[in-house]
Each structure stands twice: as C-alpha cells, then as structure tokens.
C-alpha cells in the first residue's frame, strides 16, 4: 500500500517538523483514534534540541530541597487521617506528582553523573548498581528502568526526549518505552526518519496514557503498514532486536526474543533440527516408548543443547575467550606496586602498565619474562595458570556471582581473581580465588583491595593500597 500527499489519511506535516509528512504515517485521529487537538497535552510542540534554563545558584537550592523533602514528608501519610475527603484526594494527587517529579529528577541526576564520570569513578559496578548502593529500598528492576532512561537522555539523538522529561511532560518509564517502541515501528515504515516517528509517538501521549497504550500503538502501526511494505531490510530489522526474560510467579522464567527474519530463521532451523521426538526403548520388553515431552519442551531442550554446545566450544575459563599474553617487564615493576610506575611490553609491542599486567595474570594465560637491571632476561616463567575446570566450578558454587560488595553480576560475566596475586606468590586454588566482574576486577587491582576467603564466601577489605603491602615473592621458574 503506497501513501502519498493525496491520501486522505496523510497529515500535511510530520509532527514537530515544517516539511511534508513522511508518506505512510497517518494522523493519529484517522488511523488510531487518538485525537490530539492544538494546544492539548500532546508533546508535539516541544522543539527538537530544546533544553532548560537553570540559574547558576539553582544547584545549591536544589540540593537543599532534596535533602529537606524526605524529612518534611515523613509523617504526612499518618496526618492524612485528619483530612476531609476532598483534601485527602488532593493530598494523594500531590504525592503522586511529587513521586513522578522525584523520579524525573533522579534520571537527570544519574545522567549528569554518567557524563561527569562520577559513576565511573565509584566502586559501583555500573549506573544501576550505583543507584542500588545509595538507596534504602529500591527494586533492581526499577533501578534498571531509571538507568535506561538516564543513558537514553544522554544520547544526542534523544535531545527532544530530554526536553520533555525536563518539562515534566513524560515519565521515566514512558521515555524508556518510547525508545524501545520507535525502532519497532520503523521496521514497518522504512522511508520514515527516526525524528518523525519519535515526534508521532510524542504527539499522541497525553495524561492517562500508559506504556501498554504505547505498545498497542506500535502493534497497530505494524498491522496497518507492515503487511504492505516490502520485506524490511535485514540490517535495519536487526537494530530493533531484543532479548529479555522475566521470572514468573511459579519460579520459572519466560524468555522473549524479538529477532530479524534472518536471525529468526537461523535459530528456528537449529532448534527444529534438534527438537524431533526421541523415542526410547523399554528395557523389559524391548519395545519403543513414545517421547513423553511436549513439542514446547522439546524445543526448550534443543535450545539448551545448543547453548551447552556453544559453551563447551569456548574457553572453559570464565566462559569467555582468553588471550595468551607474553609480557616482558622489569623485576621491580613486577614484584612491587610502585605507584603508577613500571610497565610491561607484550610480544606484539603493546605497552602495559604494571597494574594491568598483574590483572591479566588473573584472566589470561600470561607468561612473564622478567628482566634484570641490564635488561637481559632474568627469568622466563611458566605459563601462569588461570582458574579452570573443577576449581572454577567450586568457586562459582561458593560465590554464585561477583563477590564485590553490592554486585550481583552472574558467573558468566565474571573473571576469576587471585586474592593473593600471583606476583606475591598466590596460588591458583579455590581458597585463593574469587569471582569478579570485569569492572570490579579492574577496580580491585587499580585500588589495591584485598579480601579474605572463607568456606562460605569472600569478605572484602576496601582499604586502598593493601595489595601493595604484600611481601613480594619470586616464582620458581622450574
């Protein structure tokens, strides 16, 4: 179905633009029944790139407000019992408004923290964990949503979304939903520019609109235009891909994948090839016994078999590929942490600082070539063994996730760390190993943190530079 300027369902202008409409996307009132009169609560009037004016002293005043607000609000709920019905209704509205404004402000504060490097300079494993570390009661899912919104408003192409958030006309959850839905709609509208589709979504949002309404809008756009479009460009479709999972009330997990036609075909073919019924033989009678699994169960088993095969094909250490690194470095730099001094050179010429070289000993097969004062090889060490096989499995069973305080990154995202470093004589054993995600592995080596390993877990000492106080030991070259 082709749409042009003569089609009655085409708007004269795209939302938020001065040019003609992008053939294919109708006025909300014509196709979807969302009427957005001029001057209504719709957001189409917010110009692209719009920002906010903040006076120089507003930051200090804002800090005072956010510090005093929790104290001022404490006890409000109990005092509401003294209000008449009308005032109680007004109080509820005001509290909801305050809650929404607080969330918007938190998104913008986190976005600023990401831009400044405040989050990166902390001990937290990322922006989500940064929020959780500072909260009294905050669900991980809510922290993830706030993080997604903060990361989104920092991207230049989302300046318009940032403007409507600052203006208080969009919630953080709605912002995240818009970001996710626009690429899906664009698959059915290959000739549309992103800013035009984004403007369309903002135009239909009004008070009372929900995330479900936005998802429904996407479905209706795809249903209306998707069937009559030529097959979507594979590369463009891949940009809208996603994979998510949700824990159900039963304790089971539901996985939802949105894939391009090409990727979906690959996965469907692989699963189909491994999900055929597999009859067994009754040992007593020798007769074939029908496979009792449902088709859905067989497909799930096939997917798990594919994942298991892929895992076995990769390096068993940390479920990720590790490099074999030959590092040449001076003896003093190797054995002592002399501030930021000392460096190593790899066989391919890359220069590594001493801290990085020592960290690589945990996550790579590293062969140290130690140089004496005259620059001649003093010691060519054996390949430093990383945590593999049963030792790594035992560490995973004990730690369950990254052991750094407050971090819950799963084992597949973690590296095995020598608590007593190899350069200080630490051994590759269960009682000297622990799981650390990549970020916290870097932090531990950069800041010199130490830990104590017990049978049930790991206790971290976050006193800086403790690692540098360890007595250095030469490793036997035999």
Q: How confident is the model at residue 371 (pLDDT cuts 50, 70, 90)?
A: low
Q: How far is CA 88 from the centre of its chain?
A: 40
Smallest Cα–Cα separation from 413: which of 309, 280, 306, 320? 320
Smallest Cα–Cα separation from 31: which of 216, 300, 177, 224? 224
Q: How confident is the model at residue 118 (pLDDT cuts 50, 70, 90)?
A: very high
Q: What pLDDT is recorded for position 107? A: 94
**What does the mean pLDDT of the chain come to?**
73
Q: How far apart, in whole angstroms, are the C-alpha atoms of residue 141 and residue 49?
A: 29
Q: What pLDDT is recorded for position 470? A: 75
Q: Which of 63-67, 69-73, 132-136 has the highest mean pLDDT?
A: 132-136
- Tokens 């903060």 belong to residue: 150
Q: What pLDDT is recorded for position 434? A: 94
Q: What pLDDT is recorded for position 162? A: 92
Q: Is the pLDDT of residue 244 over 80?
A: yes
Q: Is the pLDDT of residue 353 over 70?
A: no
Q: Is the pLDDT of residue 463 over 70?
A: yes
- pLDDT per position as a tens digit, 211-236: 888 888 888 887 777 654 544 466 77
Q: How confident is the model at residue 450 (pLDDT cuts 50, 70, 90)?
A: very high
The widest CA-to-CA distance across the chain, in whole angstroms, is 88
Running DSSP on this structure, what letter comes out for residue 47? P
Smallest Cα–Cα separation from 405: which of 338, 458, 369? 458
Q: Is the pLDDT of residue 476 over 80?
A: no
Q: What pLDDT is recorded for position 366? A: 54
Q: How far apart, in whole angstroms, are the C-alpha atoms of residue 473 and residue 208?
A: 67
Q: Which residues of 115-138 are buried (b: 16+ CB within 10 A; e: fewer)?
A: eeeebeebbbbbbbbbbbbeeeee
Running DSSP on this structure, what letter comes out for residue 424? G
Q: What pLDDT is recorded for position 387? A: 76
Q: What pLDDT is recorded for position 465? A: 86
């Amino acid at each position: 179905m082709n749409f042009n300027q003569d089609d009655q369902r085409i708007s004269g202008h795209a939302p938020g633009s001065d040019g003609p409409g992008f053939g294919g996307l109708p006025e909300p009132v014509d196709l979807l029944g969302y009427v957005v009169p001029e001057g209504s609560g719709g957001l189409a009037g917010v110009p692209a790139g719009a920002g906010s004016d903040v006076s120089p002293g507003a930051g200090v005043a804002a800090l005072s407000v956010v510090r005093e607000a929790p104290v001022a609000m404490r006890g409000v709920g109990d005092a509401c019992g003294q209000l008449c019905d009308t005032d109680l209704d007004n109080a509820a509205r005001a509290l909801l408004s305050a809650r929404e404004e607080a969330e918007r402000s938190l998104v913008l504060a986190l976005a600023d923290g990401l831009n400044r490097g405040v989050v990166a300079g902390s001990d937290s494993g990322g922006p989500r964990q940064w929020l959780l570390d500072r909260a009294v009661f905050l669900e991980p899912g809510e922290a993830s949503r706030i993080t997604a919104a903060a990361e989104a408003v920092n991207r230049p192409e989302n300046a318009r979304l940032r403007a409507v958030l600052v203006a208080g006309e969009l919630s953080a959850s709605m912002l995240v939903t818009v970001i996710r839905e626009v690429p899906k709609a664009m698959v059915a509208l290959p000739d549309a520019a992103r800013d035009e589709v984004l403007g369309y979504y903002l135009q239909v949002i009004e008070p009372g609109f929900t995330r479900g309404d936005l998802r429904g809008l996407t479905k209706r756009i795809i249903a209306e235009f998707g069937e009559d479009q030529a097959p979507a460009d594979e590369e463009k479709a891949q940009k809208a891909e996603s994979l998510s999972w949700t824990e159900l009330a039963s304790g089971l997990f539901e996985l939802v994948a949105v894939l391009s036609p090409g990727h979906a075909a690959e996965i469907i073919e692989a699963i189909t090839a491994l999900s055929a019924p597999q009859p067994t033989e009754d040992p007593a009678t020798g007769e074939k016994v029908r496979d009792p699994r449902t088709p859905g169960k067989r497909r799930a088993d096939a997917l798990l078999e594919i994942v298991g095969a892929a895992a076995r094909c990769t390096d068993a250490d940390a479920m990720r590929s590790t490099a074999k690194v030959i590092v040449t470095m001076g003896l003093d730099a190797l054995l002592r942490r002399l501030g930021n001094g000392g460096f190593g050179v790899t066989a391919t010429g890359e220069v590594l600082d001493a801290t990085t070289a020592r960290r690589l000993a945990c996550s790579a097969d590293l062969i140290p070539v130690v140089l004496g004062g005259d620059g001649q090889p003093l010691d060519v060490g054996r390949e430093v063994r990383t945590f593999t096989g049963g030792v790594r499995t035992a560490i995973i069973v004990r730690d369950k996730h990254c052991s750094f305080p407050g971090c819950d990154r799963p084992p597949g995202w973690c590296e095995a760390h020598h608590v007593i470093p190899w350069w200080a004589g630490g051994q590759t054993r269960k009682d000297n190993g622990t799981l650390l995600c990549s970020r916290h592995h870097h932090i531990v080596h950069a800041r010199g943190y130490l830990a104590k390993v017990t049978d049930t877990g790991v206790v971290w000492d976050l006193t800086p530079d403790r690692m540098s106080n360890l007595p250095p030991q030469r490793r036997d070259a035999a």
